[in-house]
Amino acid sequence: MVLIEFIKTWILPIIDILAVAYIFYKSYNIIVSGTRADLVLKGIFVIIIIYLLSGLLHLYALNLLLKAVVNYGVIALIVVFHPEIRKVLMRLGEQTIWKMNLKRQDLPVKEIIEAVDELSKTRTGALIVIKRKSGLKNIELSGITIDAIVSKELLLSIFHKNNPLHDGAVLIEGNRITAAACILPISDDIRVRGMGTRHRAAIGMTEDSDAIVLVVSEETGRISIAHGGKLKTNLNKENLTSEILKLIKEQ
């Protein structure tokens, strides 16, 4: 009886606090950290600190003003963070137990790398989306159904400038190309507005999903990889292979 009471009084509250702290920590690192929302959160934290200090120092006018800001802050947060809230809900859906992880051996990395390297040498623009756990049915439906085994030759054929399917993204799921000429969402982040359309599409695609997107620049032939809303550029075959395998292993 004493042990049960001890668990209820001390152990369960500690577990409760740690669980909430972990959720906030992971949400911040995965979704908010490094984005524009990061700066907003820091600003909110500063306002809360000033609000608490104004109460302690009896600065009544300032405290009254900040109290109104805090009281209506929930509505403001929903408006400001609506993209991030949507992202949280999407990520929660990805973690459900019935989702199957993409196995490392299912993805023909060598075929993809060889194709990207060849496209880079010929300065042929390309966008390749590698599906992981996020549902991308809307992206698949925006393009033309292919449903064929991934191969270097097929990828090169799709992105050939005379192929009507070359202008868009290829969607790869496991070892199959499910669709081509897919339309990707363009990132509206002010920090990437100077980039080309393909690179902004790659970033936009990875802002709301866990997909991996490979980009070949038509102007320079440079290879880039996007994941988690971030872009790594000027990669070679070895760098690209390492990045893809690392991301797949993290699942």
Return the domain boundaries, the chain. Answer: 2-94, 104-249
Please state, in angstroms and rounded to a whole number, the distance separating the CA atoms of residues 251 and 247. 7
Quick one: CATH architecture of 104-249?
Answer: 3-Layer(aba) Sandwich (3.40)
Give the strand pairing for 176-182 and 144-149.
antiparallel
**Burial of 127 by CB count in 10 Å (0-12 exposed, 13-18 middle, 19+ buried)?**
buried
The two structure tokens encoding residue 250:
């993290």
Q: What is the pLDDT along the chain (251 residues), one digit of tens a residue?
A: 667 776 767 777 788 778 777 766 666 555 554 455 555 667 777 878 888 888 888 888 888 887 777 777 667 666 666 665 665 565 555 544 344 444 434 789 999 999 999 999 999 999 999 998 888 888 999 999 999 999 999 999 999 989 999 999 999 999 999 999 999 999 988 777 788 899 999 999 998 888 999 999 999 999 999 998 999 999 999 999 999 999 887 76
pLDDT of 205: 94
pLDDT of 149: 94
Check: CB of residue 203 under 8 Å from CB of residue 227: no
pLDDT of 169: 96
